[in-house]
Copies of this chain bind each other. A is one copy, B any other.
Amino acid sequence: MKTPAIPDLRRTLTLRDVSEASGVSEMTVSRVLRNRGDVSATTRIRVLEAARTLGYVPNKIAGALASQRVNLVGVVIPSLSNMVFPEVMTGISEMLEGTGLQPVVGVTNYLPEREESVVYEMLSWRPSGLILAGLEHTDACRAMLAQAGIPIVEIMDIDGTPVNSAVGISHRRAGRQMAEAIIAAGYRRIAFMGTQMPNDHRAKKRLEGFEEALGHVGLSLVDREFYSGGSALLKGREMTAAVLNRTQDVDFLYYSNDMIGAGGLLYCLDQGYDVPGTIGLAGFNGVELLDGLPRKLATMDACRLEIGKAAAEIIAGKRPGGVTAGEVITLTPTLQPGDTIRLV
């Protein structure tokens, strides 16, 4: 059954090659390979056989140009190295499975100019849709998105005005809610630790919501500490040590993400603090890593998987209801008290 190896002419194959090898027109080959239109069983088999033995791989560039359809969905996110976006990607991929659409990732490193150029690059491939993290973009970026004429979904955050559709949670509310739980548990001298990133708008909004809720009961943060780069777990330890050494009687540590929170937790346990008795801790994200810690860190789920799925659904036009323009889907994160916050 083995056909003799085709001499490698180092010329990329085209439909014409398959067409000649199987004795039908290019159009028919195209139809066979796309399962479109009527083709007799005999022809189909002959064509497929020829394509297979030649090792033909269709040229989507040409196909996309001719058909004006591109089966790609751009996904623009700030980073891949924290655990949050990979899970969003998982949600997107799962939902896109079987739709013929394929995600293409672009990373911005939290830089607005970088985002602008990534978006430009993406749009120049004329994708079927674009998913991007956050609501904050440069003016030029917004303009491009608005002009693009494809579905645009901004994810993660809903505190702001989306270009078109949005799926996410209210980070301001999340911060507020966590603060309220902490206050209710009786903690009063609360410190905050987080990233130094001026462009992590969502972390900023959480902090704003948090401080706002503290303000409502006449409290304010007794200390705060920021970091950038490095191993988050280690930074969590270091910042926690710094805060606890610097400020008296701190009784709660609020972290902008679970990773540094986990570091802080390990530090507190090492140091023999009574957690959550004399000191409570909480993070944000609900990363599964926490399940393996000696004690479970209080956190708040960011609905990453659901966000990815919903965003993909909008792009794929699968949302029940049909109309997909300008939809804003608000998910509500649930507080997971874990073992690091006193029971009320």
Which residues on A are within 8 Å of B, measured CB to CB? Answer: 8, 10, 12, 55, 57-62, 64-65, 70, 80-81, 83, 86-87, 89-90, 93, 102, 104-105, 107, 120-121, 123-126, 143-144, 147-149, 230-237, 262-263, 266, 270, 288-294
Contact = CB atoms under 8 A, between A and B. Distances in A.
Given A61-B61, A65-B61, A147-B8, A291 B120 contact: no
A223 to B, nearest CB: 21
A306 to B, nearest CB: 17
Contacts of A58: 124
Identify which of A57, A65, A86, A90 gathers the most chain B CB atoms within 10 Å of its CB. A57
Nearest to A12: B149
Given A12-B149, A294-B270, A59 B124 contact: yes
Q: How would you classify the secondary structure of chain A's contact residues: helix, strand, loop or mixed?
A: helix
Contacts of A149: 10, 12
Contact of A292 (B59, B61, B121, B231): B231
User: Could you say how many copies of this chain the assembly holds?
Assistant: 2
Contacts of A293: 233, 266
Contacts of A62: 65
B291 A234 contact: yes
25 contacts: A12-B149, A55-B143, A57-B144, A59-B124, A60-B125, A61-B64, A61-B65, A61-B125, A80-B86, A89-B107, A104-B105, A105-B105, A230-B288, A231-B289, A231-B290, A231-B291, A232-B289, A232-B292, A233-B292, A234-B288, A234-B291, A235-B292, A262-B292, A266-B294, A270-B294
B289 A233 contact: yes
